Structure 1
Amino acid sequence: MTEKHLSSQYDADLSDITTEVLRMGGLVEAQVQSAIRALETFDVSLAENVIATEARVNRQEVEIDAHCSDIIARRQPTARDLRLLMAISKTITNLERAGDEAYHIAKRSKHIICEVSRPTIDFSELRVSAAFAVEMLRKALDAFARLDVMAAATIVQEDRGLDEEFRGFVRKLMSYMMENPKLISVSLDYLFIAKAIERIGDHSTNIAEFTIYIVKGTDVRHIGQEANKQ
């Protein structure tokens, strides 16, 4: 991912920590998929497995952060290498938070499954949003691995589509609750799940922005938000 250094061990350190980040990202991606599948199939054991695995994601964040600090202390990197390590530290924070959202989806899914014997709400839009969010996360990690600025910029733009899906599903839930007050409790669970999915998209966007920062040295966070305010 970086130019050759005088120290081959330094190159190996950077390669190793990048691999660790991608491994953590793969685990989080699998957790999100499993949490949604638990809701689709009404599988309590699958939801419980996602809940139990959260601790593993947390451990990976701590271990990678320690590895990152160790490289900075020993190698005193500059320029793009320093940006890479700074971005890695922020990326794993976003991955851990995405993992938290998978945990929350699993918890809410388990509550829905225990409350009702079968699906009472059409959540097809939620499936679409979840697939969109997982794909965004996958593409963000791929852009990070290849330091692909163009791919990263595309992901930043795609977040708007996920936001629109979220707003559409919220409107649908409001209709359900107004038409049948008995569905308010389960609708709120679905609302929290939809919000968690939307946040996963936000974390994926952040990771894409960190990739741009590594390559360009430019912090593009909030630029789109500021433009929309003007």
Structure 2
Amino acid sequence: MPIDHSSKQYDLDLEQIRSKVLLMGGMVESQFLDAMQCFRSGDAARALQVIKTDEEVNRLEVSLDDSCSHLIVRRQPAANDLRNVMATLKLITDLERIGDEATKIARSATTIAERNVSTIQHYEMVRVIAERASDMLHDALDAFARMDATQATKLISQDRVVDHEFRSIMRTLITYMMEDPRTISAALDTLWVAKAIERIGDHAKNIAEYVVYVVDGKDIRHTDYPAASADSGN
């Protein structure tokens, strides 16, 4: 009976942590969407709110790190339970960094709005890559909520598409800057935003990899796991 009680308490503690992680995930997802709206409209007040939200995300990261550490000390999880907690710790870090990237986008939006000179269509330049990265983040959080390794595996391969789109944007912006020096400031701001979006895609892929790690017990970082899974018929 004491063992059963301890197991139930562990499950309860872990579920409380997971709920807060999903709350944090919802916050950074909204932060990213709001940052892109700021980049589109130049809304300085909204950009400031995105930056303030990042402070809440940072506080939540610290609180969750502390909760995970205490859970490990108190419950001493092993095997899959330990994998779950360790993956959650790493996921929290990725969520915090997504918040940082969203903040960078909001600050770039403010800079462009203050300059009040539109030499390129900065939002249209990154719209497609932003939509793809946003879908990746949403699907990664959904896969984590449901511990769906199949969905996680599918979205991992999308990171290559985001990387390809970033390189395409970079080449286009470099061409603009070479042909017309007046576009340099706006092009650089847009490039920083495109890079931030590309990094958000990277973090979404990381979250998906943690889901696979917890469900299947496989550390697939730095591997071609989606392609290998497809070849093996999984």
Distance of 2:5 and 2:19 partners within structure 1:
18
Distance of 1:109 and 1:35 partners within structure 2:
8
- Which region of structure 1 is more displaced relative to structure 2, 112-121 or 84-93? 112-121
Aligned twin of 2:25: 25
How far apart are 1:12 and its partner, in Å?
A: 1.1
How far apart are 1:70 and its partner, in Å?
A: 0.9
Distance of 2:109 and 2:221 partners within structure 1:
32
How far apart are 1:117 and its partner, in Å?
A: 4.6
How far apart are 1:5 and its partner, in Å?
A: 7.4
Distance of 1:6 and 1:73 partners within structure 2:
13
How far apart are 1:6 and its partner, in Å?
A: 5.7
Distance of 2:224 and 2:216 partners within structure 1:
17
List runs of 5+ in structure 1 lacking aligned partners: none
Closer, same or farther: CA 120–84 of 1 in aligned 2, 3 Å = same
Aligned twin of 2:141: 141
Instruction: Give the root-mean-square deviation of aligned CA atoms.
Output: 1.7
Distance of 2:20 and 2:50 partners within structure 1:
20
Q: Deviations over 1:100-131 (max 9, x none)?
A: 00011111111011112556325424111111
* 8 Å contact from structure 1 (residues 155, 208) kept in 2: yes
Distance of 1:82 and 1:142 partners within structure 2:
21
* 8 Å contact from structure 1 (residues 50, 106) kept in 2: yes
Aligned twin of 1:170: 170
Distance of 1:64 and 1:122 partners within structure 2:
36
Q: Deviations over 1:156-182 (max 9, x none)?
A: 111111111111111211121122101
Aligned twin of 2:8: 8
User: Structure 2 matches for 1:1-230, cutoff 5 A?
Assistant: 7-118=7-118, 120-224=120-224
Distance of 1:96 and 1:5 partners within structure 2:
33
List runs of 5+ in structure 2 lacking aligned partners: 228-234
Amino acid at match of 2:126: L
How far apart are 1:146 and its partner, in Å?
A: 1.0
Distance of 1:87 and 1:111 partners within structure 2:
36
Distance of 1:119 and 1:214 partners within structure 2:
47
Percent identity, please.
Answer: 48
Distance of 1:50 and 1:119 partners within structure 2:
25
How far apart are 1:137 and its partner, in Å?
A: 0.7
* 8 Å contact from structure 1 (residues 42, 118) kept in 2: no
Q: Secondary structure at the match of 1:92?
A: helix
Superposed structure 1 runs of 4+ greater than 4 Å apart: none
Q: Secondary structure at the match of 2:157?
A: helix
Closer, same or farther: CA 44–112 of 1 in aligned 2, 3 Å = same
Q: Deviations over 1:50-85 (max 9, x none)?
A: 112111110011001101011111111111111000
How far apart are 1:8 and its partner, in Å?
A: 2.3
Closer, same or farther: CA 143–182 of 1 in aligned 2, 3 Å = same
How far apart are 1:135 and its partner, in Å?
A: 1.0
* 8 Å contact from structure 1 (residues 125, 169) kept in 2: yes
Distance of 1:98 and 1:21 partners within structure 2:
13
* 8 Å contact from structure 1 (residues 125, 165) kept in 2: no
